[in-house]
Amino acid sequence: MTPPQPRNPLHGKTLEAIVTELVAHYGWAELGQRIPVRCFTHDPSVASSLKFLRKTPWARDKAEGLYLFMLREVRRGVQ
């Protein structure tokens, strides 16, 4: 069993929830500009994005990093 991680915003978040929140905040077009991978730029969907991000660690790291950046922006009130 892993120890509790109260200060880790990714703890307990599924990749699907992260992608869904990124799409809701940025939209597919801006998400594709910020992370230029085909799953975000060509016929994007949550399902295709999840499939790619689960297989590609560097892309998943970028998506998680953008999610953390988005959380900081939201906390500061920057839109």
Average pLDDT over residues 64-69: 95
Q: 15-76: which CATH architecture? A: Orthogonal Bundle (1.10)
Are 44 and 28 within 8 A, CB to CB?
Answer: yes
Are 39 and 53 within 8 A, CB to CB?
Answer: yes
Domain limits, the chain: 15-76
Residue 57: predicted pLDDT? 96
pLDDT(48) > 80? yes
Q: Identity (one letter) of the amino acid at 45?
A: S
Q: Which residue has the tokens 């892309």?
A: 59
Residue 31: predicted pLDDT? 96
Report how far residue 79's alpha carbon sits from residue 76's, in angstroms, rounded to the nearest whole number: 9
Q: What is the distance between the terminal CA atoms of the chain, rounded to a whole angstrom?
A: 38
> Which residues does 63 contact at the CB level (< 8 Å), separation at least 6?
15, 18, 19, 22, 35, 53
